[in-house]
């Protein structure tokens, strides 16, 4: 695999970062994951806007302009022959020198890394037909979940707990309400209405979420942005989640309770189709 590191395209084994990099010792880094379908980049502008926002929130400047970022994405797709897959992008605050909580001096170069992950069958994921089972877990992450940082230990622990319990993923709860999934935004459907938590610092502002809600509104579907509980989700007609890598994924069981028929519902299926169709049209 050929990867990108600070201006160079290198074989992955030659791409090396300092052990003093703050991404490594402090989780002082932000990231994006963008999907590739038919060799094209989905939601490029959305991911770039959120990257810039995450960087600014942490006092870093976006090191490149739109054309440069897009060129790197396209070049990696070409070099690695990616038809369907993901592009991972990370920007860290760079080499902090002798380990120190204080940021390194202004002008210290950021570390920019991008790599591809080939995922043949990404759009045709068989899990979309069977649905996914989740458990709920207390949300013990920090208070700025709107910033997409690489502090992913707690979500990893939650994912492992889900696996230990024989299911696929976990939904976080706080003060009795669902915040989001380990790596996705969460939704329920009741009497045709789509319910999803409103944006705040408590959740990541999903790029897939933003587009999906726009497409759903354009299709005259009813949407309510408010928190919901696990009990409400278990009593809903349908549930699903969204992310750049899963698009729209039906959830058929929560904490051992089957939803409705226990099979993916029609609203999730329609939204998945709608999302794939519209986002492919807008791909770069």
> Least distance from C-beta 45 to ligand PMP, angstroms?
12
Taking CA atoms, 230 is separated from 159, 165, 259, 267, 269, in Å, by 18, 17, 11, 19, 22
Long-range Cβ pairs for the range 48-54 (8 Å, 24+) = 50/148, 50/205, 50/207, 51/89, 51/91, 51/148, 53/147, 54/30, 54/147, 54/148, 54/149
Q: Which residues are paired to 249 by β-bridges?
A: 241
Distance from CA of residue 135 to its chain's centroid? 19
Give 95 or 178: the residue with its C-beta nearer to ligand PMP. 178
Nearer to ligand PMP, 95 or 134 (CB): 134
The least distance separating ligand PMP from the CB of residue 191, rounded to whole angstroms, comes to 26
Nearest to 283, CA basis, from 17, 133, 135, 73: 73
Closest of 274, 276, 250, 253 to residue 264, by C-alpha: 250
Catalytic residue among 61, 119, 148, 190: 148
- Residue 116 or 208 having the CB closest to ligand PMP: 208
Residue 22 or residue 209: which is nearer to ligand PMP going by CB? 209
- Min dist CB 27 to ligand PMP, Å, is 14
State the nearest-atom distance from the C-beta of 107 to ligand PMP, in Å: 30
- Residue 72, C-beta contacts closer than 8 angstroms, at least 6 positions apart: 4, 64, 114
Smallest gap from residue 18 Cβ to ligand PMP (A): 26
Nearer to ligand PMP by Cβ, of 6 and 125: the residue is 125
Measured from the Cβ of residue 163, the count of other Cβ atoms closer than 10 Å reads 12
The answer to whether 170 touches 162, Cβ cutoff 8 Å, is yes
Closest by CA to 124, choosing from 34, 211, 240, 249, is 249
User: Has 148 been annotated as catalytic?
Assistant: yes
Q: Which is nearer to ligand PMP, 136 or 185 (CB)?
A: 185
Q: How far is the CB of 211 from ligand PMP (least distance, A)?
A: 8
Concatenated DSSP letters of 105-125: PTTPPPEEEEEEEE-TTSTT-
Tell me if residue 41 falls in helix, strand or coil.
strand
Summarize as ranges the residues that interact with ligand PMP (CB under 6 A): 33, 180, 183-185, 204, 206-209, 242-244
Element (H, E) at 180: strand 177-181
Q: Which residues are the active-site residues?
A: 148
């Amino acid at each position: 695999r050929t990867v990108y590191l600070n201006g160079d395209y290198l074989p992955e084994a030659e791409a090396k970062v300092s052990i003093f990099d703050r991404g490594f010792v402090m989780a002082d880094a932000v990231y994006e994951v963008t999907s590739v379908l038919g060799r094209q980049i989905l939601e490029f502008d959305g991911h770039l806007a959120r990257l810039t926002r995450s960087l600014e929130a942490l006092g870093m400047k976006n090191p490149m302009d739109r054309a440069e970022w897009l060129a790197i994405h396209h070049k990696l797709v070409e070099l690695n022959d990616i038809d369907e897959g993901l592009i991972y992008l990370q920007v860290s605050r760079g080499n902090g020198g002798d380990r120190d909580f204080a940021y390194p001096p202004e002008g210290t170069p950021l570390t920019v890394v991008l790599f591809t992950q080939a995922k043949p069958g990404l759009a045709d994921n068989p899990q979309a037909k069977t649905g996914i089972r989740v458990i709920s877990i207390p949300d013990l992450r920090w208070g700025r979940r709107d910033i997409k940082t690489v502090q992913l230990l707690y979500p990893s622990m939650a994912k492992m707990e889900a696996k230990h319990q024989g299911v696929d993923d976990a939904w976080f709860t706080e003060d009795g309400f669902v915040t989001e999934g380990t790596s996705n935004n969460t939704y329920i459907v009741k009497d045709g209405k789509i319910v999803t938590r409103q944006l705040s610092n408590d959740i990541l502002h999903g790029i897939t979420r933003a587009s999906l809600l726009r497409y759903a509104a354009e299709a005259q579907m009813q949407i309510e942005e408010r928190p919901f509980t696990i009990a409400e989700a278990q009593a809903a007609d349908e549930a699903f989640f969204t992310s750049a890598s899963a698009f729209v994924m039906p959830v058929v069981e929560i904490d051992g309770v089957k939803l409705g028929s226990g099979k993916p519902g029609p609203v999730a299926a329609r939204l998945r189709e709608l999302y794939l169709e519209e986002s492919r049209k807008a791909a770069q």
